[in-house]
Amino acid sequence: MTTARLFHSRDLAPHREICLDDAAAHHAAKVLRLREKEAVVLFNGQGGEYPARIVRILKNQVTVLTGERQNIERESVLHIVLAQALQSAEKMNLTVQKAVELGAATIQPLVSQRSSERTGAAQARKRVEHWRRVAIAACEQCGRNRIPRIGDMITVNQFVGSAEQGMLRLMLCPERGSSFKRLAYKSGGIIVLVGAEGGLTPEEERLARAADFIPVTLGERVLRTETAGLAALAAIQALWGDF
């Protein structure tokens, strides 16, 4: 059985008794049903991790004793941004979870002209906060000690017009594009732009091309949007990353 990993949102220090924040305490006591004296690993998203042991479990409080800080990082050697057009709630949750496991440094949710999911400002903020919790849970599972950034929801047009400079910019185009194997990658970060079901609109594609996004394809088969971005991340890691 692997040692449970818990995200604690506050500061951590070695050889201290620490009361876990509410989310971590609930996860430890109610979800994982851990007991006193059991070993855990704590991280706060700022790098490194702390082996610890549970010393007390009260009604709504879990106290642990930390050990020495371990300078362990499991980040990808590549800085990858997955810019993903909105999908249904379940599919977007899966995309965020798996993108974290595949090493994405940033996940940028996008509103496309073809997005079936559209929300108001308040609902958009709630969805982004939910995806951030999904990312934290994925880090607990996969061993990452730095939480990927989940960007605020913006449109595809806004994103391509403000994309970070100095990065290899890719957009998935199932019907016309270069193979990943033919790309000339040397160094720097990588952006992967993925459209909604049906792909990017002609206008979105035109704006992306004008912003130096390179059309790429993932073979002869047309992949669903929830498959395409994750397949691209896996291909990137296999070609230039840590696979």
Question: What percent of the chain is modeled with pLDDT above 90?
Answer: 81
Take residue 57 and report the two structure tokens written for it: 């479990």
- Average pLDDT over every residue of 116-136: 87
Q: Looking at the predicted structure, is the pLDDT value of residue 145 above 70? A: yes
- Whole-prediction pTM: 0.93
* pLDDT tens-place string over residues 148-194: 999 999 999 999 998 888 899 999 998 788 899 888 888 889 999 99
118 pLDDT band (50/70/90 cuts)? low
Label residue 164 left, alpha or beta by phi (over 0 means left) and psi (-120 to 50 means alpha). Answer: beta
Count CB neighbours of 112 within 10 A.
25
* Superfamily of domain covering 4-66: Hypothetical PUA domain-like; domain 1 (2.40.240.20)
Closest CA to 108 of 168, 161, 152: 152
Cβ-Cβ contacts under 8 Å for 68 (sequence gap 6 or more): 14, 15, 50, 51
Q: Looking at the predicted structure, is the pLDDT value of residue 119 above 80? A: no
Take residue 139 and report the two structure tokens written for it: 């880090």
Ordered by start, the domain boundaries in the chain are 4-66, 80-240
Q: Looking at the predicted structure, is the pLDDT value of residue 116 above 70? A: no
Name the class of domain 80-240.
Answer: alpha beta
Residue 93 or 182, more confident:
93
* Per-residue b or e along 209-219, where b marks 16 or more CB atoms closer than 10 Å to that residue's CB: eebebbbbbbe
- Average pLDDT over every residue of 68-87: 96
